[in-house]
Structure 1
Amino acid sequence: MSDSPWKSSTDRRSEREEKRIAVLRTAARAFNDVGYYNTSLDDIARRLNVTKPTLYYYIKNKEEILFECVRIGLERLESASSEVIGHGGSAYDELVAVMTAYVGVVTMEFGMCVIRVGEEPLTEESRRTLRALKRRIDLKFRSLIERGIAEGSIAACDPKIAAFTLAGALSWVARWYQPDGPQTADAIARHSVDLLLNGLRPRG
């Protein structure tokens, strides 16, 4: 081990990335709390207890912050979905797992930012990039529904409408969910998924 008091380039890059993620996470919380247009770089710096010029070492401007927050949120949604697909069971079982994972992400900072703020304040080029990520997530829902219909674990329906309906309902959780509320994100996920897939009719 080196006795040098200076950090290696790898350590410096790692530390910078940790601080950059902290800036983005803090910004996402602010956007979620008071809105994108009501949040300034000064507000974000104040929440981090740093000066505004310090932020420019990690980001270019507020628009880049929002792009990165939404991109991370969408990538986490896709990653969470991919992690629970292909582990056996019916398409219905995998759809339940994907829906549960989806709620888990949209009740966290970056996922919540995808729903509460989204890509609308950004440039057309940035919106196209983010919408391409959204389409990939939508296709995961559709492909599972189509497979479930084919194997008989899911009732015959229009896969596109079903996918939009499920994702739309689950996304709305991010609008009203409160981390300090009476129910945990896990409990809300279980209840929401059960309600969407089994409905309100009495059973038995």
Structure 2
Amino acid sequence: MTKTTTIAATNATPRRKGAAPAPAVAASPWAPVSHRERQREAKRNAVLQAAAQLFNERGFHATSLDDIAARLNVTKPTLYYYVKNKDEILLQCVSQGLTMMLEGIDASRAAGGKAIDQLITCMQVYARIVTQDFGMCLIRVGDEQVPPESRKELRRLKSAIDQEFRRLVAEGVSEGSLAPCDPKMTAFVIAGALSWIGRWYKPGGQYTPEQVAAQCIDTLLGGVLRRVDVPQPVAVSAAAPRRKRSAGD
């Protein structure tokens, strides 16, 4: 026996003769707290997602908690583990849509670049989100249905988005990338036009969300009038000949 083995054997606590071995620690059937919290948050998000889809499809008042539970294959009482009532569900859905917009706009601002580049990125973010469940819910249902005590906060978030569009339009005019305009009115037009996508867009339609956003933004930036460098007068010979009047006319 080596010296190390001898020391280990000497220091080991001898088991008392006839003593039973220590019982094994039983494994807990419950997941760790952090895991349970993640699961609860995932289920809560699923409730909100299903609710937003139904609000978009049927309208807020025509959707019940029973409808939301049925969409998720759970019972109505199960929903109360994650939400208080339908008003709270709507508030969270609309808040999610606004928060997604603000986070996307903040990211575009942090990326830097010219004002026109930031403005286009913000428009792309806005257009993309209103084709998604929470953004669409924000547009189709609106904050008018939200309890009055929460309406003020939602309108504050909307105002923050509006102010960002105004700032970028004003900076675009200053740098010469945008034609002179009233930043307030222009911001209203941009947000109004892009918001309306959430009213008429249908997933799985002819255009993808990216194609919808691109076409709408191109129209907003370029307008619909055909522009030519030098106006060309209409040649007389090119005009359609007038038909002679007949006796029957």
- TM-score grouping bracket, smaller chain normalisation: over 0.9
Match of 2:208 among 168, 180, 184: 184
How far apart are the structure 2 equivalents of 1:37 and 1:94? 38
Match of 1:62 among 86, 97, 101: 86
Give CA-to-partner distance per residue, 1:4-24, whole Å, 9 cap, x none. Answer: 432111111110000000000
2:84 is paired with a residue whose SS is coil
Deviation at 1:80, TM superposition (A): 1.1
How far apart are the structure 2 equivalents of 1:45 and 1:67? 18
How far apart are the structure 2 equivalents of 1:149 and 1:70? 32
How do 1:49-88 residues align onto structure 2 when only pairs under 5 Å count? 49-88=73-112
**AA matched with 1:89:** G
2:121 is paired with a residue whose SS is helix
1:107 is paired with a residue whose SS is coil
How far apart are the structure 1 equivalents of 2:204 and 2:83? 30
The TM-score with structure 1 as length reference comes to: 0.96
Based on CA coordinates, which of the two structures has the bigger radius of gyration? 2
Cross-structure match for 1:175: 199
Which consecutive residues of structure 1, in runs of 5 or more, have no partner in the other structure?
Answer: none
Match of 2:56 among 29, 32, 50: 32
The TM-score with structure 2 as length reference comes to: 0.79
Q: CA RMSD in A?
A: 1.3
Cross-structure match for 2:218: 194
Cross-structure match for 1:151: 175
Give CA-to-partner distance per residue, 1:38-80, whole Å, 9 cap, x none. Answer: 0000000000000000000000000000000000000001111
Runs (4+) of structure 1 moved beyond 6 Å? none
Give CA-to-partner distance per residue, 1:111-144, whole Å, 9 cap, x none. Answer: 0000000111122111111001101111110110
Deviation at 1:203, TM superposition (A): 4.7
Q: Structure 1 vs Structure 2: percent identity of aligned residues? A: 51
Cross-structure match for 2:235: none
Match of 1:138 among 159, 162, 180: 162
**AA matched with 1:191:** Q
Deviation at 1:93, TM superposition (A): 1.4
Cross-structure match for 2:16: none
How far apart are the structure 2 equivalents of 1:9 and 1:46? 28
Residues 84-93 or 42-51, more deviating: 84-93
**AA matched with 1:129:** E
Q: Does 2:45 match 1:21?
A: yes
1:120 is paired with a residue whose SS is helix
**AA matched with 1:149:** V
